[in-house]
Amino acid sequence: MASLSKLALGNPSADNGLPELGLFNGEDNCQVNCQVFRNFTTASTPETGKLARTGRGLSELRSELLTRMGNWPRRLGRQLFVVRDDHEVVILDRPVTLFAWMQEHFQVEWVNGTGMISREEFFRSLQMHAEGYDAIEHHPHFPPLQKVCYLHADLPCGEKGRLKELLARFHPASKEDAELIKAFFLTLFWGGSAGSRPIFLFTSMDSDCKGGRGVGKSTVVEIASLLCGGIIEVEPAQGMSAVKSRLLSEEAHGRRVVRIDNLKESSFGWAELEALVTAPVISGKKLYQGEGRRPNNLVWTLTLNGASLSRDLAQRCVIIQLGRPVHKPSWKAETVQLIEEYRQEILANIQHELSKKGNKLDPSFSRWAAWEQDVLARVGLSAACQRLIRKRQDVVDSDADEADLVMAQFHQELRQLGHDPDRGCVFIPSGDAADWLKTATKQHRATNKATAYLGSLAIRPLTKTKKDGKPGWKWRGEKATAETMTWARQAAAPQGRPRR
C-alpha cells in the first residue's frame, strides 16, 4: 500500500499537521506487522507441561492493533473507517469487514471459547475507543476545523495567479459585486465555526433588459462547487425533513454547496431554513441508519430575480448582482478546464487570501460578524461591500414593506375611532389587531397567528401587552406623553372586547 503521508488529519501539529499514514510498507513496521495477530497467548501449564491458550484482554488487543496500523481504524461518530492510498474512505461496518481489512496486512488467528474475546466484542470496543472525528473532508478548510479528518494533498505556494484568472471570467454588476463573488469562493474554504456562514443570493441587475434570465446566476454557483465536490440541489417543496435526509446521505458527503435554484415565489420565506443556516449541527434521519449528524459547514445559495424575502431570511443573505455577459459557446468548457488543470493552484491562492491581514471594516457588524472579520475583510473594497450588503438586505426585506402597510392601516383605524396615532397611548385588543391586520394584508390569520406575525413585523409603536387581564397591543405614538392606555374603542368595558 502506497504511503499516505501527504494527507492532513485533524488538528495541525508542529510539523505542519501532516502525520504519517503510510504504515504498511516501511521497514520500521515490517517486524511488528509480519507477526501473527492473536486474541490469545500460548504457554505450557506447570502441572502437565502441555501448551494451553489464555485469552488476551480487550485493551491489550486494541492497543496492539492501533500500534501496528498507525492508529487505524478511526471513527466517524460510531462508524469505523480506514483510508486507502487513493484517498478512498472504506467503511468497516461489521466485524467481518474489520477482520478482512486486518488480514490484508497481517495474519490473524482468532479463536472462540471461554475467556476469549470474540470478533464482535473487539469490533464494538474499537467503535467506542478508536480516535473519533465529526466529519471527513476531501477538500481543505483554512484554518482546518477541529475533529475533522482531512483527506487532501499538500498545496503549492499560492500568493498569486489562478484564482484571479478564474474570477475574471464572471460578469459582476459592479466592482463591489466582483469582490463579493471572491468572498463567496473564499467562504467555501473558510474554517470558521459551524453555522457561521451567510446565504449567498445571486440575482440580476434591476435594469436587466431580459428580466435577469441568462445572466449566469446558477452557473457561478455550479462553477464554484466544482472546487469542493459539487452541488446538493434542494427544493422548499420537499420539506425540511426530506432536505435533511438529503444533506446526510452518502451522495451529499464531501459536498459543501447547497443550491435552491430559480425560485419563482414573489415573496420567499422559509423559517426552517432560517434556523438551519445558523445551527452548528445538521441532524435528522439518515436513510437506512436512523439518526445522522454532520457539522454545518455548508454554504447555502439562492438564485432568483426580483428578490423579495422575509426579514429573517433577508438578514441572512449576502446579495450578489450579476451583469449580462457576452455569451461565448466555449466559455463553460474553458472554465471547467481551468479548474481541472489548476485546481491545486486555485486552492493555494484561496489559502493565501484567507491568511492575509484583513482590511478595516465599519464597526457595526451584522449577525455574520465572524465571517465579515475573517472573509469579507480580506477582499477588496471591504467596507463598501459591508455597506452594500446591508443596503441590499433592506431592499429585499418584504416584511419591511408589509410593516409599512400594516402601520398605515393601524393609523387609519385609530383615526376612525377618534384617536391621534401620533400622540395617543391606546390599548388594542388582540382580536381587533387581527382584524386590522387582515384588512391590511388581505389574508386571514387566526388571532394567535396574527399576534405572532405582528410581533415579527417589529412595528415600532406596537408593544405586546395586557389591559385588565385581556391580551392585546399597546400603541404609543411617537409624540405621546401619556403612559396610561385608553381602550381603542371608547365603549369598551373590562368585561369583554367590543366588536364593530
Measured between alpha carbons, how far is 171 from 327 in angstroms, rounded to an integer?
A: 11
Tell me which CATH code domain 162-396 carries. Answer: 3.40.50.300
Lowest mean pLDDT among 152-161, 237-246, 454-463: 152-161
The 10s digit of each residue's pLDDT in 66-94 is 999 999 999 998 899 999 887 789 999 99
| β-pair partners for 232 | 258
Written as nine digits, the cell of 418 is 377618534
Written as nine digits, the cell of 158 is 499560492
271 with 309: CB under 8 angstroms? Answer: no
Note the pLDDT of residue 293.
87
Categorize the per-residue pLDDT at 397 as very low, low, confident or very high, splitting at 50, 70 and 90: confident
Mean pLDDT of the chain: 86
Quick one: DSSP state of residue 387? H
Mean pLDDT across 173-193: 97
Measured between alpha carbons, how far is 96 from 89 in angstroms, rounded to an integer?
A: 17
287 with 249: CB under 8 angstroms? Answer: yes
Written as nine digits, the cell of 401 is 414593506
Note the pLDDT of residue 202.
96
Mean pLDDT across 21-26: 36
Check pLDDT > 50 for residue 15: no
For residue 100, what is the enclosing H or E element?
helix 95-103
Q: Domain residue spans in the chain?
A: 27-133, 162-396, 399-487
The 10s digit of each residue's pLDDT in 461-480 is 999 999 999 999 999 998 88
pTM for the predicted model, two decimal places = 0.75
Measured between alpha carbons, how far is 146 from 149 in angstroms, rounded to an integer?
A: 9
Angle, helices 217-225 vs 175-187, to 10°: value is 30
Check pLDDT > 50 for residue 213: yes
For residue 409, what is the enclosing H or E element?
helix 398-416
Give CA angle at 71 (115, 104), nearest 5°. Answer: 75
Higher pLDDT, 41 or 265: 41
Lowest mean pLDDT among 135-144, 221-230, 407-416, 452-461: 452-461
Residues 6+ apart with CB under 8 A from 199: 277, 300, 301, 302, 313, 316, 317, 318
The 10s digit of each residue's pLDDT in 105-127 is 999 999 999 999 999 999 999 99
Categorize the per-residue pLDDT at 28 as very low, low, confident or very high, splitting at 50, 70 and 90: very low
CA nearest 399: which of 454, 448, 449? Answer: 454
39 with 172: CB under 8 angstroms? Answer: no
Mean pLDDT across 259-277: 83
Mean pLDDT across 48-59: 87
Categorize the per-residue pLDDT at 12 as very low, low, confident or very high, splitting at 50, 70 and 90: very low
Measured between alpha carbons, how far is 495 from 499 in angstroms, rounded to an integer?
A: 13
Angle, helices 430-441 vs 447-457, to 10°: value is 70
Residues 6+ apart with CB under 8 A from 332: 219, 223
| β-pair partners for 299 | 257
